[in-house]
Every structure is written in C-alpha cells, then in structure tokens.
Amino acid sequence: MASPSTAIAAAPGEIARAVLMPGDPLRARYVAERYFENPVCFNTVRNMLGYTGTYKGRRLSVMGHGMGVPSIGLYAYELYEFYGVDTILRIGSAGGLGETVRLKDVVIAMSASTDSHFADQYGFPGQLCPAASYPLLRTAVRTAERLGVRTNVGQVFTSDQFYHEDPGVNEQYRKFGMLALEMETAGLYWTAQRAGRQALSLLTISDHLLTKEALSPMERQESFSEMMEVALETAWETLEDE
C-alpha cells in the first residue's frame, strides 16, 4: 500500500505508536543502531531518516524532525493523523538560560512560550499555551530520578530565530523563568494538543547562553545518551506489549 504522506515513505503499520524524534536524522539512525533490536528503515525521503525496531521487547520508532516549528509541525501532524502515532518524544539540544540549569542537564519542558505564530491557524479565542502531556512528563521525571540523570522541569522558549537581532533578548527570557532556548517544542505541543495525542520534549543543555559555557563534542555525545535513555524508558513505560 502506498504511503498516505508526501513527506514520509512508510506504509501504514510500519511506524510504532510511540516515536522518538531528534532534530538531526543522523541521531535517529544512531538511536536505532545503538538501542533497537532489528531496526528497519521506513523513511529516507529528504534524508529524514526513520526506523522501527524493538526496545526491551516493545515496538518503538525513531525519526528526525528537522529544524524549526514548521518542520516538526509537518512531521508530527503526519505521524499523528496518517500513521496512528499516539506519543511523540522530542529528544534535542538547547541553550541554557536559567540560573539553576547546568551543562549536561536534561530539561523536561512542561510548556513552551514562543514568538511563533504557528497556532494562529487554529483560531483559538485567546492565547493557546502549548504544554506537555502530564502522564509523559510524570513518567520522564520518575525515570530520570531512577537513572540518576540531573533534570530541570519547567518552561522553555521556542524561538523562530537562531540569530536574533536583539542582543538582550535572552536576558528577557530568563527574567520570565525560561529554563532553555530551542526551536521546536511549541510546534510539537500545539500539534499534539490539536490532535488529542501525547507529546513531551526532553532537551540536553549543550551550551549556556548567559555564562557562554559549552560542551565538547565528546561531552555532548555522553550527555545526549543520558537523555536518549530517559526517553526510551519513558516511551517503553507508555506501551503495552504488542
């Protein structure tokens, strides 16, 4: 059967009900090859690699989502609406903003403030705050505690700009309690809320935007592994044996 999507080449049934989504498709391949049993590639369209395999006996998928709200919004919409996915966990990197946030920490995004106008399409009569699914958030916090991974739970800022014209904007974000700055979480949460599905964003702090500290390439690899393991265990907890 042909794919119902123009951006994902998978046939119905080739994608699991829970999907991990890093921004970088090569990181999706890394997750599949390192953690999955018998991974099978279901997508190569635009090199946005996607794989399905099993993790501890439960079927799970991983796929890249690209950069920015429009990109993750497209892929999340198609996964939810065309492929029966009910859970997406973003696994990405972010720049730290909060005073309590350190390099290598995993930020669990409870909600996302943003300068994106992605949600204008919904015609919501007010300001629609994009938020995580609480069951996933609760499971991720408990999982991180069990694995000994240092986390911060709170609000992040999803920006449409990587290079911002205002040099003082990061300090403004910090004043309002933003823990980290990234570019996709709000789009994922809005898409999940509209679809009535689950979503959670887990973010490794790779650099701190106020202190100017940054991880080395080796430190990034090790820290991202901690985040991936929290996400894998969280997804596993949400699935029933198939």
Q: Cite the active site residues.
A: 207
According to DSSP, the residues that pair with 50 across neighbouring strands are: 43, 63
Instruction: Enumerate residues 6+ apart whose C-beta is below 8 A from 242.
Output: 58, 59
Using CA atoms, how far apart are residues 104 and 223, in angstroms rounded to an integer?
Answer: 5
Those residues with Cβ within 8 angstroms of residue 79's Cβ, 6 or more apart along the chain or in another chain: 8, 15, 19, 63, 85, 88
**Is beta strand 58-63 parallel, antiparallel or unpaired with respect to 50-55?**
antiparallel
Do the bridges between strand 151-158 and strand 37-43 make them parallel or antiparallel, or are there none, so unpaired?
unpaired
- Report how far residue 141's alpha carbon sits from residue 152's, in angstroms, rounded to the nearest whole number: 9
Q: Is the dihedral of CA 230, 28, 224, 22 positive or negative?
A: negative
Q: How far apart are CA 2 and CA 11, in angstroms?
A: 6
- CA dist list (Å): 75 to 65, 83, 136, 164: 6, 11, 20, 26
